[in-house]
Amino acid sequence: MNFKGGWIAQPFPPVSLQNGEPWVEDVGNESNEMQLGPLPNYNSEDPNAENYLPPQIVRDQLASGYEFERNDSLSIELNVSNDQTVDSNQLRNWTTENAWTGRFPAIFFAKNSIVSNNCLVQVVNIADSSDRETIRQECSDDEDAQKWIEDGKDVYDTTFFRSEQQMMYGYVEIACKLGDSSLSSAFWLKEHRGLEREIDVFEFSTSKKDSGYSAPFSNMYNMNIHKFTTDGDFSAQRSINMCTNLSQQELIKIGFLWTTTHLHWYINDVEIRKVQHNGEFCDLGMNIQLDREYLSWFGLPNDEQGGTDTFGDFVVHYVRTWNIVASHVGEETSQQD
């Protein structure tokens, strides 16, 4: 989640790699502004979640001979009927461990990803004295961080959560309430084998800073694609004004479809972005990740431009993932959109 170029106008032009061939190109919606549609057919107490299929708009993208197959290892089902309890084993394929500790002054703490009221909740706090000392030790090699802490400035407990297994080519959907905070609520895919590829399904903030889109960040749905190389960060960022404060939606459904040729983003079963890629980027599996993070373009809570931060929780009702599989073994057919 290291977009370095600031915010840019849409639509995003083709991005080339060293060979000059297009890497990714927006080929769908070109609008900078859309109205958020209603949440379709959602029952938070339906215990038969395993019977759900991806929305029809997503299934229509598959070529004949392919279908979706539920991946339970990459799914989290916490919404259960009133007479049931959450099975803790549903989280056995997920971890709060990560190769990095967060971006100062907001550091990850495992205790801030919790199960509450049949939801996965990611909270943010101003660090107390004990956690402040932990943060000081984690940043012992950073002179600026040490001075920041010594000067008594706020530092923050945030959190991180990821799948143990990887997704490759398929559909993932999350039903959630986004946090009201300058610190992000984020849902993203990342590979962890040294090649540094990343897809940001969303990075959301209610920062009071200027978004650059004549709309507050609270209205902006922010997406990105990264390929980090020795020549730098090749990224294809996109932001769309959804014309409402997304953190005030009690529930929002966000989907992402990844095929061998295209990437699709959906909000409440409406496609808002479609990207064609050359396969050179999307040819490795990625872990599914959720976190609360300090991102410099959103800014800090309570800074000179920000006012008071309420640290609203990022509340996840479920994560559902499906693989794309051939429905007829041996049939020669190519997957396409």
Q: Which of 160, 95, 159, 161 is nearest to 127 (CA)?
A: 159
- 5 in any annotated domain: no
Q: Which of 336, 326, 325, 301 is nearest to 127 (CA)?
A: 301
* Strand partners of residue 324: 68
User: Which domain range does residue 291 map to?
Assistant: 54-326
- 335 in any annotated domain: no
Question: Percent of the chain at pLDDT above 70?
Answer: 80
Query: What is the number of domains present in the chain?
Result: 1
Contact 3, 224 (CB under 8 A): yes
| pLDDT class of 267 with cuts at 50, 70, 90 | very high
Question: pLDDT tens for residues 109-165?
Answer: 999 999 888 889 999 999 999 999 999 999 999 999 999 999 999 999 999 999 999
With tokens 């990342």, the residue in question is 190
- 289 in any annotated domain: yes
How far apart are the C-alpha atoms of 132 and 102, rounded to whole Å?
A: 14
Contact 7, 221 (CB under 8 A): no
Tokens of 152: 């008594």
What is the predicted pLDDT for the residue at 16? 53
How far apart are the C-alpha atoms of 290 and 223, rounded to whole Å?
A: 14
Contact 253, 222 (CB under 8 A): no
Tokens of 10: 């849409």
Averaged over 31-53, what is the pLDDT?
76
Q: Which residues of 164-175 are buried (b: 16+ CB within 10 A; e: fewer)?
A: eebbebbbbbbb
Chain centre distance of CA 161: 11
Where in 88-136 does DSSP place strands (E)?
94-95, 102-103, 106-108, 113-116, 119-122, 125-126
CATH number at residue 180: 2.60.120.200
Q: Which residues of 276-301 are buried (b: 16+ CB within 10 A; e: fewer)?
A: bbbeebbeeebbbbbbbbbbebbbbb
CA-based torsion, 64, 70, 73, 77: positive or negative = positive
Question: pLDDT tens for residues 281-318?
Answer: 767 889 999 999 999 999 988 754 444 577 899 999 99
Task: Kindly tell me if the per-residue pLDDT of 35 is higher than 60.
Answer: yes
Start-to-end CA span in the chain (Å): 27
Contact 253, 269 (CB under 8 A): yes
Q: How many CB atoms lie under 10 A from the CB of residue 337?
A: 17
Tokens of 132: 């402040």
Neighbouring residues of 184: CB distance < 8 A, sequence distance ≥ 6: 1, 203, 204, 205, 291, 292, 293, 294, 295, 298
- 334 in any annotated domain: no
Question: pLDDT tens for residues 72-114?
Answer: 899 998 765 444 444 556 688 899 887 789 999 999 999 999 9
Question: pLDDT tens for residues 212-251?
Answer: 999 999 999 999 998 877 777 778 899 999 999 999 999 9
| pLDDT class of 10 with cuts at 50, 70, 90 | very low
What kind and span of H or E run contains 137? helix 129-138
CA within 13 Å, CB half, 118? 15
- 48 in any annotated domain: no
